[in-house]
Structure 1
Amino acid sequence: MVNFMLKISADLENLTNLQPQGGCDDPSFPYLFKLKCGRCGELSQKETCVSLGDTVPLLQGKGTTNLVQKCKFCMREGTVTMIPGKGRPLTQEDCEGGKFAPLMLFDCRGYEPVGFVFGAGWKVESLEGTKFEGIDLSGDDFSEYDEKGECPVMISNLRSTFEPVK
């Protein structure tokens, strides 16, 4: 059993607290990434979608998981279970320090997550407190004007990594 922490970073201009629309533990937020088989190393052709709100029973009958999937190459079955309560928003301080913020923890058995895809459903707030919601980051950036703070705001240079956690 290996846990992987999804960490994100970006350049936030006059912004802070980048996170999924309903927070880091939003049950409807779709986490999209590819899976690498732990046995044969095959990488899934398409991104896999995992969300806290979707659960399936484990075949052994003990508990649930968020994803059960078979490798198309070696036919080995693996699971991905999301562990809420371990993430937090990406702040302006993180960005200034060149740091990544932990977003979600995944318990992966038989698979390794790779290549997180930023999509729709994000929120962020300006340093003046203006909230921007429903942001689509699939285009790799976001720019707007904060009327309250009278300044441009921007998200760019999106980065992500999956780090093994013991």
Structure 2
Amino acid sequence: MVLFVLCIKAELDGIESLSLIKNTNLCFSLRNPLSDYEVREKVVFNPSELLEQDESDREPPHHFALRWEGSKKYSTLTVLDDDGAKSALKKISKKGKKGGKGGDDEHLPRDVTPADNDNFVPVLVMECRGLEPYAFHPMGNEFKIISDGGTVFDKDVDLSEGDWGDYDEEHDASVSANEFQSKIISI
């Protein structure tokens, strides 16, 4: 089991928080960690839907599965909820994989706030077996934004071009998220 953390950053203006919506389609590019040439570009899955499994399946429940060429077993990806992420990060910390730090709170998913400008923030933890996500591709509508005035923008928040802006009519203020970037780290 390897954990991968999707981290994002953006310059927020007039925004209280930017968060990943948990029940929407996500798009990642994946590679076979045992092969330099086997990749699957722009794979889409929904982290709120587990794949159906037969009773004979030995794999734990997961959100995405694929079988690499020549492999007998499926490679799987499971998006962890907050409790699952906390537990998995604690297990890895106990195994000594985490270099000397007492806690893994820095890898727990959370919302991006204006205090985070210019810093990557973890928003999603994935447990992967036999595959490695290496790129995140925003498609639109994966994110929710709350303005400084408390207005929720959860439709048409499209960061695929790197920038998003709107107007909070209720509070007479413009809101924007600029210079969006993402990276995936392994733990």
- TM-score, length-scaled by structure 2: 0.74
Please give the root-mean-square deviation of Cα atoms over the aligned residues, in Å: 2.1
Give 1 or 2: higher helix fraction. Answer: 2
Query: Is this contact kept in 1: 2:26–2:47, CA < 8 A?
Result: no
What is the aligned counterpart of 1:133 among 132, 154, 179? 154
4+ aligned runs moved over 6 Å, structure 1: none
Shift in Å at residue 141 of structure 1? 1.6
Separation in 2, partners of 1:32, 1:43: 17
What is the aligned counterpart of 2:68 among 67, 71, 80? 71
Matched, 1:119 2:139: yes
Query: Is this contact kept in 2: 1:125–1:131, CA < 8 A?
Result: yes
How many residues are matched? 157
Kindly provide the CA deviation profile for residues 73-131 of structure 1, in whole angstroms up to 9, marking residues without a partner as x: x5464111111114211111111xx2222111111111110110112222111112222
What is the aligned counterpart of 1:89 among 111, 128, 135? 111
- TM-score, length-scaled by structure 1: 0.82
Separation in 1, partners of 2:8, 2:185: 11
Query: Structure 2 unaligned runs (5+)?
Result: 83-107
**Identity of paired residues, percent?**
24
Query: Is this contact kept in 2: 1:34–1:43, CA < 8 A?
Result: no
Shift in Å at residue 45 of structure 1? 4.5
What is the aligned counterpart of 1:158 among 137, 162, 180? 180
Give 1 or 2: higher strand fraction. Answer: 1
Q: Give 1:10's aligned residue.
A: 10
Separation in 1, partners of 2:171, 2:38: 45
